[in-house]
Chain A
Amino acid sequence: MDAPIVKIDNLVKRYKELVALDHFHLEIQEGEIFGLLGPNGSGKTTTINCLLSLLTYDKGTVELFGRPMRPDSYDIKRQIGIVMQNIAVFNELTVYENIDYFCSLYVKEKALRKQYVQEAIAFAGLEEFTRFRPKKLSGGLLRRLNIACGIAHKPRLIILDEPTVAVDPQSRNRILEGIVKLQEAGATIIYTSHYMEEVEQICTRIAIMDKGKNIAIGTKEELKKMIKKSEIITIDLEKLPETDRKSILELPHVYQADFSDHRLTVLCSGGRHNLLRVLNYLQEQQFSIGHVYSKPPTLNDVFLEITGKELRD
């Protein structure tokens, strides 16, 4: 395996009494879309700020591209693009001028910069809005401008800190597609979010954070395998006597069966054809079956099982 592009080792960050990062470890390989998933206050943004050398930390090391990251590591900073959680653009400048300004902080050559700015505008789909000032843009377009400002200089490592907050579904999809395109073009992405669906959709590897700790890391499949639950079956029924509920509980791989509000919820751990077995039993007992749902566990289930609380608590 190649040397990691990002290596955080034993990082501790305290805000007075509050421990924001508690001996945090992380390694990210080049070419990944790495998701940092966790509820608000779990330490995602603090991790990013330590990574960028914006924040002091109490203990640990941060290495980027195999070298220690310091505030004056300008050669490393040249290869990093940052898209902040809050919009960071100048209201007095147009879309084109904003992108050109931020690009100029990395790229000095004017002709090359012009080309990069045009490509960033095309990437973000802002061609029709180049002369608009930020106040004239919708929330989604503003987010796209924020991203374009962060990636125009073609960085190798792009850090996106909750880039889809308060964005309409259409813009969100466009942003997510764009992130995948950036990865395909060779960039490594660090993507923080508390929207598990987004992280599941685009990230090749995911770290789940809680209280400043990295509580689980792996691909989404690996994470889901970490928990007992592998399938959740939900069936609408008129009634279900207690004896039948206990019989279902005795079916192979079923470890939990609950009936309430005319709905049977069956949790299975591994195995195949679990739904078929449950349906066969109910039909044999001549129950009238309503809607039937079967779904694999989500990252929220992973988070719930590991921490005992919902991801969005």
Chain B
Amino acid sequence: MFSIIKYTWIRLIRNKTNLFWVLLFPIALGGLFQAAFSNLSSLEEFSPIPTAVVCSGDESSPLLTAAAANPLLSVYRCSSEEALAMLEEQQVDGILTIGDSITLTVDPNRSSARLNQSILQVFTEQCSINAALIKEAPAAAPALAADADFRKEVCYGRRWQDPYTQYFYNLMAMACMFTALSGIYISLENQGNLTVLGARKNCASTNKLFCIIGELIAYIGFEVLLNIIAFLFLIFVYGVDMRARLPLSLLTILISSAAGVSMGFFIGSASRRSESIKIGSVTAITLLCCFFSGLMQGNMRMVVEQHAPFFNRINPAALIADSFYCLNMLESLRRYTVNILTLVLLSVLFCLGGFLLTRRKRYADL
């Protein structure tokens, strides 16, 4: 068993195709994702609205304090003439005149500042209501001033995370699924009717099942290692925010790689087709699973969840991506545990299917 594992590892290390698909391709694709999505995230950042504030009354008005303290606004205190000049030169998007009441002046012809003008309008209306309340109950002034901040970040999960991180969950799912490509060779190289190597091994005095188990251990171990390297690369080099519950993430990679390798072993054993047809089939199945888990279209998993939820429960790529999501986003590990147990079950079924299909020891034709 040791020499089977040792030489399988040596072969895998020297197999550049496997290294490319399982290690380099996810890293390269991760780099592209990172380059593309980091720009998208920066576009979503909110810039404070340049606003001129003209005081036409009491300098100690709580409305002045509220405007200055509001993070939505970038306030320039000035006279009304200066404010109008700044508005004309488009240095500010609006003028707040604060006295007994608060009024907003905007340029109605500036369509590019329409959103900011709307926000200023809402702010003005809120301040007017607050000013009326302060008149009636001056003691409420500090609390009302603090409430003037409309921006509030709401986190529905365990913590806040960039929504584009889901693409990296899917990327890891794809990397784990691509291990199926190497799993094909376990069947090819142990079936006497598929390759000459298989025939030679079938003639040897080592039990066939023993050979297959040894190779499964070696393949899974090696692919896990490659996937862990790719995963750590995404986290520590690209800075992808997936480091929550790291030990469980590594467990996910272990089980996902086992599912991938065993799926390849099963598909490889299922027919007598040529090596290239089997590789093509596994690639197509893998990419299809990844497509439905949302690798190419972010909301695809949600679409599947609405129309065919059972598919999400058995699609290995969806289960892997969802497991990473659960680890990073959800407090409870219940859904994660169900996903992982399903992946384990799939691996066992694939292995059993592969064993049953390869257990034949004599062939009708070679």
Residues of A within 8 A of B (CB): 15, 49, 52-56, 71-72, 74-75, 77-78, 80, 82, 84, 86-90, 92-93, 97, 100-102, 104-106, 149-150
A105 near B204 with CB under 8 A, answer yes
Q: Return chain B residues, CB-CB under 8 Å to A54.
A: 192, 199, 202-203, 362-363, 366
Q: How far is the CA of A56 from the CA of B360 in the complex (A)?
A: 11
Q: Return chain A residues, CB-CB under 8 Å to B365.
A: 15, 55
Contact of A102 among B10, B204, B362, B363 (CB under 8 A): B204
Q: How far is the CA of A100 from the CA of B361 in the complex (A)?
A: 24
Given that A54-B363, A54-B366, A55-B362 are known contacts, is A106 also in contact with B200, CB under 8 Å in the complex?
no
Contact of B11 among A53, A71, A77, A92 (CB under 8 A): A92
Query: Which residues between 54 and 75 of chain B lie within 8 Å of chain A, taking CB atoms?
Result: none
- 22 A/B residue pairs, CB under 8 Å, sorted by A: A54-B362, A55-B365, A55-B366, A56-B364, A72-B361, A74-B205, A74-B207, A77-B204, A84-B199, A84-B200, A88-B195, A89-B197, A90-B7, A90-B11, A92-B11, A93-B10, A101-B3, A101-B7, A102-B200, A104-B4, A106-B204, A149-B200
Query: Which residues between 207 and 228 of chain B lie within 8 Å of chain A, taking CB atoms?
Result: 207, 211
Q: Return chain A residues, CB-CB under 8 Å to B362.
A: 53-56, 71
Q: Return chain A residues, CB-CB under 8 Å to B11.
A: 90, 92-93
Query: Which residues between 117 and 170 of chain B lie within 8 Å of chain A, taking CB atoms?
Result: none
Q: Return chain B residues, CB-CB under 8 Å to A72.
A: 207, 361
A105 near B206 with CB under 8 A, answer yes
Q: Return chain B residues, CB-CB under 8 Å to A150.
A: 200
Q: Return chain B residues, CB-CB under 8 Å to A87.
A: 196
Q: Which residue of B lies closest to A98 (CB)?
A: B7
Question: For the complex, is B201 an interface residue (Cβ under 8 Å from A)?
Answer: yes
B10 near A82 with CB under 8 A, answer no
B2-29 contact mask (Cβ, 8 Å, vs A): 1 or 0: 0110010011101100000000000000
Residues of B within 8 A of A (CB): 3-4, 7, 10-12, 14-15, 192, 195-197, 199-207, 211, 361-366
CB distance from A43 to the nearest CB of B (A): 13
CB distance from B304 to the nearest CB of A (A): 39
Q: How far is the CA of A52 from the CA of B4 in the complex (A)?
A: 22
CB distance from B191 to the nearest CB of A (A): 11
A82 near B200 with CB under 8 A, answer yes
A92 near B3 with CB under 8 A, answer no
CB distance from A311 to the nearest CB of B (A): 24
CB distance from B166 to the nearest CB of A (A): 37
Given that A54-B199, A56-B364, A72-B361 are known contacts, is A78 also in contact with B3, CB under 8 Å in the complex?
no
Q: Which residue of A lies closest to B193 (CB)?
A: A54
Indicate the member of A72, A88, A93 with the most B CB atoms within 10 Å. A88
Q: Which residue of B lies closest to A75 (CB)?
A: B205
CB distance from A69 to the nearest CB of B (A): 11
Contact of A106 among B15, B205, B364 (CB under 8 A): B205
A78 near B200 with CB under 8 A, answer no
Q: How far is the CA of A149 from the CA of B7 in the complex (A)?
A: 15
Q: Return chain B residues, CB-CB under 8 Å to A97.
A: 7, 10
